[in-house]
Amino acid sequence: MENIELQNIMLAFGLTLFAGMSTGIGSAIAFFAKETNHKLLAVSLGFSAGVMIYVSLVEIFQKAKADLSSVFGEVTGAWYTVAAFFGGILFIAIIDKLIPSYENPHEIRNIEDLGKEQKNKKLMRMGVFSALAIAIHNFPEGMATFMSGLADPYIALPIAVAIAIHNIPEGIAVSVPVFYATGNRRKAFLLSFFSGLAEPVGALIGFLVIYFFFDSFSPAISGIMFGAVAGIMVFISLDELLPTAEEHGEHHLSIYGLVAGMAVMALSLLLFL
């Protein structure tokens, strides 16, 4: 493997680790902040959605189409790209559907709700199921972050930041129900923090499977993966980030954040032409 390729892989892993560990930031915020800053959260989530949607459709989708077209031809490659895109959407939608809403870490809870509910007697069961739900959700997100980094090192950082912004309120949402279950702030923080490590674990497993079983990163495999990643990121943005942003603020705040995220992503891509 060439040195530059190794550098790209290490960069992608590092950014995936950063994005996953941001759940710990959200968990810490839950224990030190007095209340939820709804306006800031709405703008931030909208911004994250804008970055993810723009880069998915403008950059990653096109990268998938170029790779697949180089192998299968223009028409067949385009069909495979679209199939991979909606395959990614189907994959994350099934995962989202299988996890109960209460244990779903994407169901946002407010900081000010911390400690208001009674402790759950089934402490271990709640902790294990919560951690499992988080890991299942973060696994494909880790793959998406990692593959985005491999697609182009220049777009890796804004993608990782967008995923991190997404994971911060997720960390808050995880800490609250775990605290309900255990009454232990330290345990709630640690479970939230370590659950985010499912993202780099997902990236590592995905890399090993591709490298050892699919002849490294061939254009056909990378095209399918990039197409699926684009679908996953668009689904996360439309199904989780934007609805949550609107719940926490005015409609226009989330849209302003969305447009700002798209503009920042567009500018960053133009600067590296």
Average pLDDT, the chain: 76
The 10s digit of each residue's pLDDT in 201-228 is 888 877 777 677 665 567 888 788 889 8
Report yes or no on whether pTM surpasses 0.85.
Answer: no
The dihedral through the CA atoms of 58, 21, 170, 254 has a sign that is negative
Judge whether residue 252 has pLDDT over 80: yes
d(CA 239, CA 229) in angstroms, rounded, equals: 15
- pLDDT confidence of 1, banded at 50, 70, 90? very low
d(CA 52, CA 235) in angstroms, rounded, equals: 10
The dihedral through the CA atoms of 187, 188, 191, 196 has a sign that is negative
Question: Structural domain of residue 116, as residue ranges?
Answer: 3-271
Residues 6 or more apart whose CB falls under 8 angstroms from that of 217 comprise: 150, 210, 211
Q: For residue 113, report the phi and psi dihedrals to the nearest 5 degrees.
A: -85, -10
Q: pLDDT at position 90, please?
A: 94
DSSP for 88-142, please give it: HHHHHHHHHHHS-TTT-TTS---GGGTT-SPPPS-HHHHHHHHHHHHHHHHHHHH
Distances (CA, A) of 210 to 99, 170, 187: 27, 29, 35
d(CA 260, CA 75) in angstroms, rounded, equals: 34
Q: pLDDT at position 68, please?
A: 94
The 10s digit of each residue's pLDDT in 78-131 is 999 999 999 999 988 888 777 655 444 445 555 454 444 444 544 455 555 655
Residues 6 or more apart whose CB falls under 8 angstroms from that of 39 comprise: 248, 249, 250, 253
Judge whether residue 3 has pLDDT over 70: no
The 10s digit of each residue's pLDDT in 29-66 is 766 665 556 677 788 788 888 888 998 899 889 989 99
Q: pLDDT at position 175, please?
A: 72
Total domain count, the chain: 1
Which percentage of the chain shows pLDDT scores above 90? 15
Residues 54/56/62/67 CA torsion (nearest 10 deg): 160
Q: Which structure tokens are listed for 11?
A: 């960069």
The dihedral through the CA atoms of 164, 196, 229, 234 has a sign that is negative
- pLDDT confidence of 178, banded at 50, 70, 90? low
d(CA 111, CA 248) in angstroms, rounded, equals: 12
Residues 6 or more apart whose CB falls under 8 angstroms from that of 183 comprise: 119
Task: Name residue 161's amino acid.
Answer: V
